[in-house]
Amino acid sequence: AQTEVEDARTLLQGPLDAMTAEIALLDRDGVIVTVNAAWRRSAARLGDGWPRHGVGASFIDVCRAAVEAFDEAAVARALRELRSGRIKLFSRAFVLGAGAHLRWYQQRITQFQRGEDTYFVAAHEDVTEVARAQAALREVSGRLLSVQDDERHRIAVELHDSTSQHLVALGLGVARLRRTLDRDGGAVPGVAARAGAL
């Protein structure tokens, strides 16, 4: 029986270690049962505070130590709701580090049954590149809108100036035509001659 358990654990560990997300398998009480290689690498950055990379410790305690603004109440509530079946997935984003070392993570926790036992899979995925790409896209979109507004303003000014110039020219032409009509007694030069020729 012990050999079968070890074989099952080894079979499970291989695929877990192949994943890039940091993954921890938790028991029904939220205690870490096993972790993958990505989790171990991340836990090593925390130093010696968590021997065995948190295995045997409370998932919430490990997260609280790693994440500065960790919402312990939200995760504890999510574990209860997952265990009861009220929700199927808990997902939230969090940030680690500061300045140039700032990293964005997506945390997802799901529940599964193995026989009568309830387990949780907690995955922390580094989505920094996606977050940076979205920020860059927002910046480019903002700049594009600004350029479009500037271009609309420029066209409006040109249209206003052009229209004003045409109206002034038209006004001057009408004024000159009136002076000519007043001077010639109401006849427009050339018009009467042309009318007579027809």
pLDDT at 186: 61
Residues 6+ apart with CB under 8 A from 107: 90, 91, 92, 93, 94, 122, 123, 124
pLDDT at 188: 56
Low-confidence ranges of the chain (pLDDT < 70): 1-2, 4-10, 46-51, 185-198
pLDDT at 192: 52
pLDDT at 191: 53
Is the distance from CB of 109 to CB of 137 less than 8 angstroms?
Answer: no
> Within 13 Å of residue 177, how many CA atoms lie on the same side as its CB?
9
| Structural tokens at position 77 | 């509530």
Please state the pTM of the whole predicted model. 0.63
**H/E/C letters for each residue in 60-110?**
HHHHHHHCCCCCHHHHHHHHHHHHHCCCCEEEEEEEECCHHHCEEEEEEEE
**CA distance to 26, 92, 95, 131, 195, per residue, from 47 (Å):** 22, 25, 19, 27, 104
Is the distance from CB of 34 to CB of 8 less than 8 angstroms?
Answer: no
- DSSP, collapsed to helix, strand or coil, labels residue 193 as helix
pLDDT at 195: 46
C-alpha 64/C-alpha 96 separation (Å) is: 12
